[in-house]
Structure 1
Amino acid sequence: MGVVSLKEQNSNKSSIQTLVDLVAEDMEAVNRLILSKAGSNVDLIPEIARHLIDSGGKRLRPMLTLAFSKMFGYQGEGDVILAASVEFMHTATLLHDDVVDESDMRRGKLAARKLWGNQASVLVGDYLLGQAFKMMVDVGSLEALRILSEASAIIAEGEVLQLGAAQDTATNEAQYMQVIEAKTAALFAAACEVGPEICDMGAEKRAAARDFGMSLGLAFQLVDDVLDYGGSTADLGKDVGDDFHEGKITLPIIYALQRGSDEDRAFWKRCLEDGDIKDGDLEHAIGLLKSTGALDDTIKRARDFGAAAIAALGKLPDGAQKEALREAVEFCIARVN
C-alpha cells in the first residue's frame, strides 16, 4: 500500500453505523447532558465548549461506554452519565492538546485557541474536566470514578512524556508507544471498562473490555499517524501534515529514521528538530516514508492491535453489541484503505 492509495475513496469502507444505531437513543440522552453540563453563567465557557462540541467528531469513546454497558444488560442512567463524562474528558484533552501543539485546526474548524486564545482554552478545558468528575460522582460508583480519574492522570503523564519526546529524533519505538498508550489508548480503555464495572461484572470481563479498548486506542492512533502523511483533512479533522510541521516524532518517522541514509536522517533532523521546513519538504518526507516502508509497517502494527482488540472480544458475551464493536475495529483500520 502506498501513500497515494490512502487518498482514494473506498466504497466498501467499513463504518461504525451498526454501533451508532445500537446506542442512538442513549446517545441522544448523552448529547443533551453534554449540552446541559457545558453551560455556565460565565459566557465564555459555553461559547468555547460549544464551539468544539458542536463541531462534530464521531463520539466513539462515549459510544463504547454505552455499548459495553448494554452488553451486560445495564438498567439505569449511570451509563449515560459516564459516557458524557468520558466525552468531556476527551474534549478537555483536545483543548489542552491544541495549546501544547500550537495547532490551528480542530475537526475542520479553527481551533479554539486561535479564536479565544491559549489561556481561555486551557481554563475551559479545566472546567470541562471538573464537570466530568462531578458527573462521575453522581453515578455513585467509587470504582468507576477510580477508573476514569486514573485515566485522567495517565493522559496528563502522556502529555508530559510527549513534551520530552517532541522534536527529538532519538525517540525510539518503545518510548513512542508509551506516549500513545497514555495519551490516547488509556481513555479508550477506561471508557470500555466502566461499562462492565457498573454492571457488577467480575475482573475477567472488566479486563477483557479494558484490553479491547487499549488495543483499539493504539490502532486508532497509529492509523491517525499514517493519515497525517497521506489522508485528508476530512479524515483527520485537522490539516494534513500538521504532525510534520509541529515536529512530532510518530511511529512512521521512527521507522524512516531507522532505515534511512545519513542524508535522510539529516533531513529529518533539520525539519523536525530544527523546525527548518522549506517548500516541498512535506512531499519529500512522504516520499521517504513510502520508500522505506514506514507507512506500510505502521499500518501493519495498527492491524496487529486491531486483531488484539477483536481477540479480547472473544472473552465477552455474543450479541449485537459484540458485533458492533468488531465492526468499530474494522472501521478504525479501514480509514487508511
Structure 2
Amino acid sequence: MFTAKDFIPTNYSKTIEQGNFQWTAPSNIALVKYWGKKDNQIPANPSVSFTLNNCKTITKLAFAKKEISTVLNETGEKFSFDLLFEGKPKEDFKPKIQKFLERIEIYLPFLKDYHFTIDTENTFPHSSGIASSASGMAALAMNLMRLEKELNPNMTENYFYQKASMLARLGSGSACRSIKGEVVVWGNHNNISGSSELFGVEFPNIIHDVFKNFQDTILLVDKGEKQVSSTVGHDLMHNHPYAERRFAQAHENLDKLITIFENGDLEEFIKIVESEALTLHSMMMTSMPYFILMKPNTLEIINAIWKFRNATKIPVCFTLDAGANVHVLYPNKNKEIVLQFIQSELVGYCQNGQYICDEIGTGAVEN
C-alpha cells in the first residue's frame, strides 16, 4: 500500500546545471464525478474519466541552477520562476503555481535549487470554459518529473508516472487523471485493483471495443468565468445534507461501470453517465449557499439530445463538468450522423456557435 512518504526522495545520484523539456498533457472528462475532497487534495469519492485527445496544454520548462539555492528572492519566496502564457508574462497565474510548488517541495527538494521558466499554451481557446487546470497541472508535473528523472536515472517507469500523477493532483485534483491511460480511475475502490486516492491509475479491467475511439464533442455554451469556483464547490460538500449518500452512490456507479465497460451495454452506460452529470449539479443546487452553473441553453441541449436519442435510437448522451458546457459522448461509428445533428440542431445554443470535436486519448507525451 503506497503512502505519500514513498514519493519523498532520499538523495540524487546525478546533477544537471540547466536544460529544458516540453510535455503535452490532455484534459479529461469524468464519467463518475468527484465532488468534495479531504485535506491534501484527497477525493471524498472515487471517479473515472475518459482521457481526451485534442484539448491539451503544451508546457515548456526551462531550468538553470541558481548560485545559492537557499537565498529568498525579492518577494521573500524561495522559489524562482517566470510564467509565460502563449509567450507573454502571465502574472495572475503565478500565485497558483507558487502554491503548487509549496505543496510539492517535500517530494521534489531540488525545486529551490533552480530558476524555472514555465511557458504554457492550450490547443483550445483560452477562457473557452474548458477546464485547463487539469491539463496545465498535468503538463507541468510531467516536466518536473522529467527533471527528477535526470537527477535519478534509475527511477522506474511505474514510479515516474505514479509520482507525476500524485504531483499533478496537488495542483488540481482531476489533473491526476490526465497523465496516463485512456480510462483512468482516481480514488480507492474495492473492486478496482491498484486504485489509489494518491494518484490516478489506468482502468485495469476489460474495456469493450465500443468504447475505443469514443467521441466527445464539447459544446461551448458559456465561455465566461464561473461565478462559483470548483474549489469553493468542493468545500461546500463538507456540511452538505446529501454528501454521504452521494459518496456511496459514486462507489455504486463505478461498480456498475466495471460491468458496462466489459459488456459494452451502451444503454446502461448512458443511464450512469447522464445521472452522474445531473447529480453533480444537484449537489451544487442543494448546498448552502446554493448555486447553479447550468445555463438555459444547457437545458435546451440536454432536451434536444434526449429527443434525438428517442427518435433515432442512436446511443448519444451528455455529461457536464462543473460548468455550463455540454460534453456530447457517442461511439465513433455514429460520428457522422451525430455531428450532423449537432450542426443542425445544437450549434445555435453555443456561444458564437463554438464547439470542439474531441475523442479518447492516451495521456501526456514528451515533445
The alignment's TM-score, normalised by the length of structure 1, stands at 0.31
Structure whose residues are more often strand by fraction: 2
TM-score w.r.t. structure 2 length?
A: 0.29
In our comparison, the structure showing a higher alpha carbon Rg is 2
Q: Which structure dedicates a bigger proportion of its chain to helix? A: 1
